[in-house]
Structure 1
Amino acid sequence: MPAEYALSNVWIGIGVVIILFFIFYGVGYMASRKTTSDADFYAAGFSIGPVTNGLGMAATWASLATFLGVIALILKLQVPFVYLWIQWAISIPLLTLLYGTSLRRMKAFTPATFIKQRYGKPSTIVIVCWMILIMVMYALGQMIGLGRAFELLFGVPYNTALVVAGLATVGFITIGGMYGATYNAAFQMVVMTIAMIVPMGAIMKAMGSSGWWFPPLAYGDMVPDMIAAIPTFFDMKYDFRWYFALIPAFTLGPVALPHLAMKVFTSSSVKNARWAVVWFAIFLGLLFSGTYVVGFAGNYFTATTGKVIAKPDQTLLILNVFYNPTLVAAFVMGGALAAGLSTIGGNLMAIAGLVGSDLLGILAPNMDAKKKMKWGYLALALGGITAILLAFKPPKFLVTSILWAFGLLATTATPAILLGVWWKEANKLALMVSSIFCGILFIVISPHVIPSICVGKGLVAALGMSGGMVTIPLSFAMFIVLSIIFNRVSALSAYAPTLEDKMVIDRIHGWGDHYEEKHYNGITVPIIIAIVCMGVFAWGLQPW
């Protein structure tokens, strides 16, 4: 017997949504009054404290997929999914440790600001174009979720729901800039954490768990019944390569996400940026643990009640309709909406920064700062409208477009940032060649563009895991090897790193004007990394 999500009183759901949007627009309006410069618009005046930033980072990272598509994946993958999610969760700490606080010293608006200083204008245009494409894809997944959420709440056709939800969302994000996006995201994180965890306590109590008082961790007493009902739930169902492929696809991609890096850059100091990561880990850990409990409870619900969850994306919503009052179920939907809105806010602010600051900084370097900011506003709005238009024919799986984007980002941008920050030999032409070639290769060997040409099959191909295991190590290896070669070819000397390029590296690492050629300048470690990457590349090409 199928179980479906349906509020007994749709007006309660409508009321919850109206209240939330009223708050979001209010925060956006108040934030717009503080936005007087490009630093305010793109980086909230570099003034955000660690707790607010930690909440904002977690909200921007969580996304609507946390409430919908991710839980559907838990139902499908069961325990192995926790390894997949670990890779996502560690990306923000890695981002901060590997380059976030270093670039914070530059007062950068986006990672592309560093690319411009380190590699010059042509390389920046390549990376910015990839990042804009990826941000639109990321926002696409959120728009699809918002459309489905409004469709469920209001009982209107998906396309109508998409337009209403999308335009309402783009409106308050455009008004508020980074101040509005940050403070709204902090509030949205509180809403989504409560909506994820508190109602699950009542659900677990109804299921007979004595650990209902703290759903994220205290559901252990349900495990024996789960094993009896689904003996394979805790099995490690895949070989080692499946788990290893999560690292390039789902760890290295998010490390380069511009909207996450921008949250680090808004911090009021380098110290506060580091502390924000601690708060991020606490807040996101609560939410992620709660989400896994929902997946556990969804499997338990199906196994013990005989009811089939026909639409796995709706698992959390269905459990709340089945066990909790209508008001609670409506609030949970509000939490899901908050998750989508916070991530779209980050995506669109990243597009605004990439266009208004980075791209126009190259194409129109003498343009007035306020005029560039207006173009940033326009890019933000157009990015949102583009995501709405693309969402009219959504992919089959909500998270597919998001996770596939991670693999593309890790292929095209992560090597440029990490090698650019830590290696003075990184060459401009090598960056462009490896990024363009491997990025196109990732697109070609995925199942979404040319299905007949595909590395891997099934879920590993659809989510970009198998493709990423080929193109990401190849991109790193190509970049390293080509850099070493190009730097030693006199005809290509124009692309070799200049003294000024190298001095940028010492400055962002805190050396100030004290330059040492030997810092970050060896080739032994990069060559070893390239050899290891080629081994991974060969492994990834083996039949899946």
Structure 2
Amino acid sequence: MEETAWQLSNPILGIVAIVAMFVLFYIVSFISNKKSQSVADLYVAGSTIGPVTNGLAMASTYMSLATFLGITALILELQVPFIMLWIQLILSIPLITIIYGTSLRRMGAFSPTHFIRERYGVSASIIAALFMILVSLMYALGQMIGVALAFEMAFGIPYLPGLLVGGLLIVGYVTLGGMAGASNNAAIQMVIIALMFIIPLGAIMKAVGGSGWFFPPLLYADMVPAMVDAMPGFFDYQFSPKWYVSLIGLTIGSLGLPHLAMRIYTASNLKSARNAMVWFTFIIGLVFSATYAMGFVGVYATQTQGVSISSADADKLTLILNLVYNPEWVTALVIAGAIAAGLSTISGNLLAIGALLSQDIITTLKPSIPTKMRVKLGYAAIFTGGIVSILLAINPPAFLVVSILWAFGLAGVTNAPLIIVGVWWKEANKYGAIAASVIGGFLYIIVSPFVFPSVVITGHGVTDGMGLSGAMLAIPISFVLLIIVSYVTNRMPSLSRHLTPDADKRLIERIHGWSNVNPKRYNSQLGAAITVILFSAVAVWALFPWNM
């Protein structure tokens, strides 16, 4: 089939579904945020969100259009074991909660960058904030691409008008609603996403002859023999060991994503945050499993059912399968679900950009700014971030998920080490933090194929493009730099006199819930040495060919 065939023959169906969804979301945003008068109201909803709503909002924010469209495209085109990556990344919210979310929640921080400012000083926090703005923009970029594709298919319009219309609608809704609107809407969006992904998938599986259609996430086993006959190598996961190690790097990256960490701070209390984690893990695991099933069914349809999908249309796989096997009104609802997936994640990204620009940069440099002006700056930053992400999406990468995974890696280089080491090791200082984020961040950017293609060290297009090879090199180097530079500068009188070790120690003890300071707590030199040796070995290993 030709590319132009993949659109609704009756655009009215798409218009009705999408307009109804946006009207609902705008109403919820307006009602939720009409009482927002403070920075806390805007960015963390006054820390009043309950566990079920927050858990669903976490899942929705994390889900993104990469799950709905991007990952299925890579399964179709590359048959890579992305189920391993996506299910592994479910660990991110629980790990954020366990490793530092609870500690930062006690501290009253709005964002991870707030912690970096208190722990390492203003200079380190501004550098981290600038990198996190880039991370959030790249993450939002992938969502904007997916929204444009959904509008393109729903209305039969070209990519660019779909991007402009869909992008501006989303930016307006996020700017209007703040975190309270985003959280309440994200919970609704998660329900829409799950229903509009899993139920239509069951109908598709039934149409192609699968007997496990009543529970699509797992029960596609009876389709496996036909798949193996048609494509013997589909389940061949004999990838380089580096592939699996690099996935750990992206998981570390997810710990540093500001829009995920902010969800911990919206909870009404620590118990609520922990309970929300349980809801998050359950719903995200269900839909992520269904994502792999959708990719499997897509390959099955192309190999055994005669469905032809070009590489240019790979990102539309979920929508195309519905168009082929389900009534058009179902496809219209699925398109609305896909847009909901993009909406939820873009909301988190833009709110993170707003907090980073207004709170972590402007207000830090000019602390005398009145509260009302801070809130206005927040709204302006959210809107500006949305416009920039739209402009970046005008010339998109081949797969929408590329920019998202690349953002994971950059967060793992520039943000996650500063937080993880800063929370658990008292010797970490501002010199180590600045060296780790600046050197590690620029190294990750340089070895990516998007800036200086001739510098890429691995020569493997798939791993380079997704940020896997760069993350495997730069993340360990960032951790090593943070620890070694901190250790050395703490023992240099000319530099150590500019540090505040006693205040840092009290801060770490306090965020862990201790009322006294114990010099031996969170101060292991042996643990630091083991980390340096292990991560140095991984960085050296990353320089060798991948053999994939």
- TM category (shorter chain) comes to over 0.9
Paired residue for 2:501?
498
Paired residue for 1:158?
159
2-structure distance, mates of 1:532, 1:460: 22
**Is contact 1:144–1:398 with CA below 8 Å preserved after alignment?**
yes
Q: What do the CA deviations read for 1:76-119 (whole angstroms, capped 9, x no partner)?
A: 34362222223322111111111011111122111111111111
Paired residue for 1:420?
422
2-structure distance, mates of 1:207, 1:132: 44
In structure 2, give the amino acid aligned to 1:347.
N
Paired residue for 2:268?
268
Q: Does 1:28 align with 2:29?
A: yes
2-structure distance, mates of 1:70, 1:119: 37
Secondary structure class of the residue paired with 1:488: coil
Paired residue for 1:53?
54
Q: What do the CA deviations read for 1:485-513 (whole angstroms, capped 9, x no partner)?
A: 000000111443421121111111111x3
Aligned residue pairs: how many? 542
Q: Does 1:487 align with 2:490?
A: yes
Please report how far the alpha carbon of residue 480 of structure 1 lies from its aligned counterpart in structure 2 after TM superposition. Answer: 0.6
Moved over 4 A (4+): 1-4
Q: Does 1:448 align with 2:450?
A: yes
Matched ranges for 1:32-431 at <5 A:
32-78=33-79, 80-248=81-249, 250-310=250-310, 311-431=313-433
Q: What do the CA deviations read for 1:314-338 (whole angstroms, capped 9, x no partner)?
A: 1111111111111101000111000
Of stretches 73-82 and 433-442 in structure 1, the one that deviates more from structure 2 is 73-82
Partner of residue 464 from structure 2, selected from 432, 450, 461: 461
Of stretches 63-72 and 32-41 in structure 1, the one that deviates more from structure 2 is 32-41
Cα 1:228–1:120 change in 2 (3 A) is: same
Of stretches 416-425 and 89-98 in structure 1, the one that deviates more from structure 2 is 89-98
> What's the RMSD between the two structures over aligned residues?
1.3
Q: What do the CA deviations read for 1:102-148 (whole angstroms, capped 9, x no partner)?
A: 11112211111111111111111111111011111111111111112
2-structure distance, mates of 1:80, 1:160: 34
In structure 2, give the amino acid aligned to 1:418.
I
In structure 1, give the amino acid aligned to 2:30.
Y
2-structure distance, mates of 1:155, 1:206: 26
2-structure distance, mates of 1:395, 1:501: 43
Of stretches 3-12 and 454-463 in structure 1, the one that deviates more from structure 2 is 3-12
Secondary structure class of the residue paired with 1:273: helix
Please report how far the alpha carbon of residue 268 of structure 1 lies from its aligned counterpart in structure 2 after TM superposition. Answer: 0.7
Of stretches 64-73 and 1-10 in structure 1, the one that deviates more from structure 2 is 1-10
1-structure distance, mates of 2:337, 2:453: 36
Please report how far the alpha carbon of residue 206 of structure 1 lies from its aligned counterpart in structure 2 after TM superposition. Answer: 1.2
TM-score by length of 2: 0.97
**Is contact 2:149–2:316 with CA below 8 Å preserved after alignment?**
no
Of stretches 198-207 and 528-537 in structure 1, the one that deviates more from structure 2 is 198-207
Q: Does 1:509 align with 2:516?
A: no
Partner of residue 532 from structure 1, selected from 531, 534, 538: 534
**Is contact 1:59–1:342 with CA below 8 Å preserved after alignment?**
yes
In structure 1, give the amino acid aligned to 2:540.
A
TM-score by length of 1: 0.98
In structure 2, give the amino acid aligned to 1:488.
R
Q: Which runs of 5+ in 1 are unaligned?
A: none
2-structure distance, mates of 1:232, 1:81: 15
Partner of residue 437 from structure 1, selected from 436, 439, 453: 439
1-structure distance, mates of 2:498, 2:405: 33
Q: What do the CA deviations read for 1:244-291 (whole angstroms, capped 9, x no partner)?
A: 11111x201110101000001101111111111110011101111111
In structure 2, give the amino acid aligned to 1:451.
P
Of stretches 228-237 and 269-278 in structure 1, the one that deviates more from structure 2 is 228-237
Cα 1:229–1:103 change in 2 (3 A) is: same
In structure 1, give the amino acid aligned to 2:296.
F
In structure 2, give the amino acid aligned to 1:292.
Y
**Is contact 2:71–2:82 with CA below 8 Å preserved after alignment?**
no
Cα 1:495–1:123 change in 2 (3 A) is: farther
Please report how far the alpha carbon of residue 307 of structure 1 lies from its aligned counterpart in structure 2 after TM superposition. Answer: 2.3
1-structure distance, mates of 2:448, 2:218: 37
Of stretches 285-294 and 342-351 in structure 1, the one that deviates more from structure 2 is 285-294
Please report how far the alpha carbon of residue 518 of structure 1 lies from its aligned counterpart in structure 2 after TM superposition. Answer: 1.8
Q: What do the CA deviations read for 1:10-62 (whole angstroms, capped 9, x no partner)?
A: 11011100000001100111012131221111111101111111100011001
Partner of residue 476 from structure 1, selected from 472, 475, 479: 479
Please report how far the alpha carbon of residue 296 of structure 1 lies from its aligned counterpart in structure 2 after TM superposition. Answer: 0.7
Secondary structure class of the residue paired with 1:308: coil
**Is contact 2:15–2:154 with CA below 8 Å preserved after alignment?**
yes
Please report how far the alpha carbon of residue 532 of structure 1 lies from its aligned counterpart in structure 2 after TM superposition. Answer: 0.4
**Is contact 2:87–2:289 with CA below 8 Å preserved after alignment?**
no
**Is contact 1:148–1:161 with CA below 8 Å preserved after alignment?**
yes
**Is contact 1:427–1:495 with CA below 8 Å preserved after alignment?**
no
In structure 1, give the amino acid aligned to 2:309.
I
2-structure distance, mates of 1:225, 1:181: 44
Please report how far the alpha carbon of residue 149 of structure 1 lies from its aligned counterpart in structure 2 after TM superposition. Answer: 1.4
Secondary structure class of the residue paired with 1:68: helix
